[in-house]
Each structure stands twice: as C-alpha cells, then as structure tokens.
Amino acid sequence: MGKAGTGTRALRAGIGCIIAVGAGLLVDMRPAHAQVSVFKSMEKSDSAFARWLSGITLTGQVEGGIMANPARPQPGYNFGDFFADHANQVQLNQAEFTLQKAIDPSRGGYQVGFTLEGMYGSDARYYQILGVSAHEWNARYQLIPAQAHADVHLPWATKGGLDMHAGILQAPMGVETLDPTTRPFYTLAYTSEYSVPFQHIGAMFNWHVTDMLDVTFGIDTGNQTSFGRSDNNNAPAGYFGFNLNNLAHGKLNIVELSRVGPENSRYSSAGGRHEADNAERFWNDINAVYAVNDRLTLTAEFNYIHDQGLNGIRANGNFKAADAESFVSFLSYKVNKVLTFNYRGEIYRDNNNLMVATFIGNNSYMDGISGRTTPADALMPGPSGHGTTYGEMTLGVTYKPDIGHHVRVFMLRPEIRFDRSLNGTTPFNGGRNNGMFTFGGDAVIGF
C-alpha cells in the first residue's frame, strides 16, 4: 500500500508539474523567443570573457505521455517498450533544463563551450551511469545529469577543423535520441532500445575533413559505466565512423558509426572477469536521410550488434556469441506548417532471445548493466528458444504550432503502434500473445 500510494502521489505531482508549467508559459504575454540568454546584457562589453558569457543560454522542457493497451497485460507492462513501459498509465517522462554555451564549427577559430543538462522523470531510469547516479533512487521518477561536457572547436588540419566533447555524453549512435523533439514518435524502435548505447563518460571527436566528409572517433569507459569499481569491466571502448553530408544536391545525408569494446559485467558473466574483460561487443549502425522535397523525408537505418560472450561459455572454453540485426524505415510528410504525418516500420531479429526484455523494477535495467543481483520478478525476458523476429509498425502525427508567449516548442503527438512476433513466439501481454496493439502519445512544452 505504501509503494502504491507513493506512486500515485508521484504521478499526480508529475501531471501537476506539466499543467503548472504549461499554464505559466501560456499566460506570459511577452514576445516569444527560443531560449533565455542568461548574460545577454554583456554581449557588447569590451571584455572578451564577458562577451563569451553573453552566449550562454538556458532552455527547458517537460514531456508526459501514455500508451494504452486494451489487452491489460499482467503485470502491467508493454513488452519491449522503455519510455512508455507502464501500460494504461500517464507518465512524467522528462522535466529537463539545459545550460549551454554552444560552439559553432562554421565560425572557425578557437572556441570553448559547455553543456549541462539535468533531467527528472521516468525516462531517467534508462540513462543512468554506474558510479554517477545509478542506484541513488528507487522510484519510477529519477534524477540524472543527462549531459555534462566541455566542448572545444580547434581550427586544425582542415578548414572545418576539429570538434571535441569530453565528459558525460549522450551516445551518438542511431536515429532516435533521448530528446523527444528530435524524434517523430513517443515510443522508440527496438533498435533504439536494444542495439545502440545510451550514455558515456569519455571524449568524442568530430573532424570536418571537407564540406562533404566528417570523421567521428572517440573513447570512453563503456556504455553507462564510469571508473574503478563503478566500471563493470576493466577495458575501455570506442567509436569510429563518418558522415557524408549534402549528397544528391543537398538532399541526402549518410551517417555510419561503429563501436567496439567489452561491455559484459564481471559480476554476471559465465566466464567471470576473463570474459568481461575480453569478450568484445561490436555495434554497427548506418542510416541515411533523404529529403525528397520540402514536404517528404525518408530515413532508413540498418543495425547489427554482435557480442562475443553474452551467450556464455562453450564446453571447450570458447565464448558463445549473441547477436541481432535490424532494419528501420521512417517516412515523414509535412501536411502543412503545423501538422506532420509520421510512419515507422521495423524488422528486428533477436537471434538468441538475449537482447529484448522488459525491465519491471525501477532499477532493474541498471542492475543488468552492472551485473549485480536483481530480484527475479524485476525482469520479464523475451521468449526462450532459438530467436525471435519482431515486426513493429507505428503511425502518428505531430501537431506543432507556434504559440508564442515565450514557448520555444509545443508538440502533441498521438500514435498507434502494432508489434508482432513474426515466427510464432508469444512475448507480448504477459506471454499470452504473439502481437500487441497500443495507442496513445505524448505532449511536449518547452521554453
């Protein structure tokens, strides 16, 4: 009863927060602008440092949503869904503030900036970092430093120079991101949940070789880990890849990123510390965005993930690998200046039924990252056997009017989604069905 009461109070508080922020923004009748310039009065100062301070901005936004499931699954979770995992329940997904001094590679010259983002809400459960914020909370709504990094532009080697970001970083791989305003749907594709990393402590570099080619590389402690005892193994990981920009007369952009490094925990690996430190995980993602015209945009993403040791140890002592491959397609059609139609279709093959699972406990996802013991009822694994092929189709619209009054963004995004096992397994609705139908959406408001 105590836990249920706490959850109800948190839910009411979250809804109240959305209403209060929205009302406060809508009654402010001053002219609209996209962000708050914290030290704007210093922009004409004779001091270079004061002028640097004048470029610091503050933004914030709140997101809440719900995905209804007519099947009323037990124990109440939409299988395979992270951000909208609680079926038939409104969630305060994010309340975040970002303080930033952005760098602009197009300006050239030496530049120094930073990004600090704090976030509270249910989404934070999946973006913790071991040793930084993980296991500090035991509730659905948690608090995280979503970003905290120094940013530097160095005019070296080429005209475009080199960008460096060091600190707590959001992982750059994949199409869909944590920020709801950058993706077309409230819910995420399987690929975005199970086949790309989320957060890092490390350094990322983006070298602008030519106007058409960027090269990306970086090193970090691992996916959602930090240093020392807060790392789940003793080896680093890193990225390498490239961007091809403005192809096909400026209509086509292609991004390829690969990543390699040990990611399994010494606390849970069948091969112990040796497997955790030596079994490599290979992440590979390539996506292309093609703007057919001013209204229609097509996106395609292919992902392949392979872990040498996630499946345990063979009798001869060799690692047993696990992997998954997927293809995701997106279509976005701008009906008019405030309304956009969106489509997403995905095929995700979990070859060993070891990638896709639902994390019931508030900390069970991070328990999985750390390898520490988690209650048996805190994880709803996928089907057993030799693999499952998941199909997913989502349709929705984005209503995004410019309402002014200091509101940077206002979005309503209803969606309907259908998930299905394409090879006869029954992972959905408490293991009863081979398909799942959900509908709902979210609202976002920000200054």
Mean pLDDT of 268-272: 69
Are residues 21 and 408 in contact, defined by beta-carbon separation less than 8 angstroms? Answer: no
10 Å CB burial of residue 212 (0-12, 13-18, 19+) is exposed
Q: Give the range among 2-11, 135-144, 300-309 with minimum mean pLDDT.
A: 2-11
Question: What are the structural domains of the chain?
Answer: 54-446 (2.40.160.10)
Q: What's the pLDDT at 34?
A: 58
Mean pLDDT of 345-366: 94
Mean pLDDT of 272-294: 91
pTM value? 0.89
Distance CA 154, CA 219 (A): 18
Q: What's the pLDDT at 147?
A: 97
Q: What are phi and psi of 7, to 5 degrees?
A: -65, -40
Residue 261 has pLDDT above 90, yes or no: yes
pLDDT band of 270, cuts 50, 70, 90: low
Q: What's the pLDDT at 271?
A: 66
Comparing 76 with 375, which gets the higher pLDDT?
A: 76
Name the nearest CA neighbour of 417 among 157, 153, 79.
79
Tokens 């200054």 correspond to: 447
Q: What's the pLDDT at 145?
A: 96
Residue 18 has pLDDT above 90, yes or no: no
Question: pLDDT above 90 covers what percent of the chain?
Answer: 70
pLDDT band of 376, cuts 50, 70, 90: low
Residue 10 has pLDDT above 70, yes or no: no
Ranges of H-type helices in 163-284: 190-194, 247-250, 272-278
Q: What's the pLDDT at 427?
A: 94
Residue 14 has pLDDT above 60, yes or no: no
Residue 63 has pLDDT above 60, yes or no: yes
